[in-house]
Structure formats: structure tokens, C-alpha cells
Amino acid sequence: MEKLLRFDSRSVLVPAPAGSSWQPANTTGRFQKFEEVISKEPSSWLRLAHFLVTAYREKGDYSKAIQVEEKAASLEGEDLDQVKAKYKDLREAYGRDGPIGYWRQQLEWSKNDENNPMGLALLYARVGDKDEAFRYLNLAFERTPIELAGAINENAGFDSLRRDGRFQEMLNRLGLGK
């Protein structure tokens, strides 16, 4: 978080893959820092939206995460009617099935994005489909091993896979095994 706050106003923040997790030490401090940055520079809100969404997810406040996602999509110039319909579906999925419904809907939207294998691996892991998660982890290893190595041990989205032997095998392939 501290590195994020040192970026100047011209810095571009690159969103992490769908389903990813950003985990600074404490939730309260996280939101205070975001609010501090946004109050000093309101135009930074859109650049911080991804981090806000991730922080709200980690806090378990999926409703707030959806609200931020919807606002960001609107500010990015997406068609407002489509944005409203999309996030209505996400709210309904979350309302019906809780966090797993949220992640299933995110996965449904992302299933055809073969250019983001790590993001798909994260989403499949979050919905409990380990075989598909490992299929996409292997694809991520082939296509973006450096990105995968940087995220695999830090991302809470992979937590459901950590006890599976295939996860340790992947760590070994990445040179991160014990």
C-alpha cells in the first residue's frame, strides 16, 4: 500500500487479473489510505477502484465491491444501461448464493477470456473447480510464468488449491517449492 501511495498523479495502475487478491496488513488502515489519497486527488478514484474492489472483497463486503465495480464501469464510459443490467445480475447472484454466487457470475463473464489464464485459474479456484483451476494454472505457467510466480503465493484466490499436490508441483515448476 505504501508504494501505491508514492505514485504520482500520472502513474497508471495496472489491474490484477479477475479474482485476484490484494492483502495489506489491516483492513481499517487500507480504507483510510484509500480515502486519504482520494480526498487529496479525487481523480485518482478510478485508478484506485480495482484496489478498492479487492479490499472490499477481502473484507467480505461484496455489496460495496459491486457498488465500486459498477461506478468504475460507468466512469470508464461503458453503456449505462448495460452496466446497470450487468451489475443487477451480479447483485442477484450474490444475494441468492452469497460469495460463491458473486464468483460464479464473475467467472461466467470471464470464461471466454483465454488471454487471461491466471485470472481464469483464480476464478475457477474461487468457485471450487480445482481441475479447471489447475488447467488454467498450467496455461498461465506456459504463457506468463513470471506473472504467475509473482502472484501464486500471495493471492488468497489460490487458497483452496494449496493443499492439493498439484499446487506444490506448480510451485516446484516455478522454482518456488520448499
- 101-127, pLDDT tens digit by residue? 999 999 999 998 889 999 999 999 999
Confidence of residue 27 (pLDDT cuts 50, 70, 90): low
* Mean pLDDT of the 149-171 span: 93
Q: Give the integer Cα–Cα distance in Å for 178 and 172.
A: 8
Angle, in degrees to the nearest 10, between helices 45-59 and 27-40: 160
Instruction: Bin 77: left if φ > 0, else alpha if -120 < ψ < 50, else beta.
Output: left
The verdict on 88 and 20 lying in the same domain is yes
Number of folded domains in the chain?
2
Cα end-to-end distance, the chain, whole Å: 28
* Residue 170 included in any domain: yes
In this structure, the answer to whether residues 92 and 117 fall within a common structural domain is no
Same domain, 35 and 83: yes
Average pLDDT of span 59-74: 93
Tell me the per-residue pLDDT of 132-143, one tens digit each, with 9 for 90 and over: 999 999 999 999
Q: Which domain holds residue 90?
A: 16-97
Question: Percentage of the chain surpassing pLDDT 70?
Answer: 83
Whether 122 maps to a domain, the answer reads yes
Out of 97, 128, 155, a domain closes at: 97
Rounded average pLDDT over 29-45:
75
CB 103 within 8 A of CB 120: no
pLDDT of residue 50: 85
pLDDT at 142: 96
Q: Is the Cβ–Cβ distance between 138 and 3 less than 8 Å? A: no
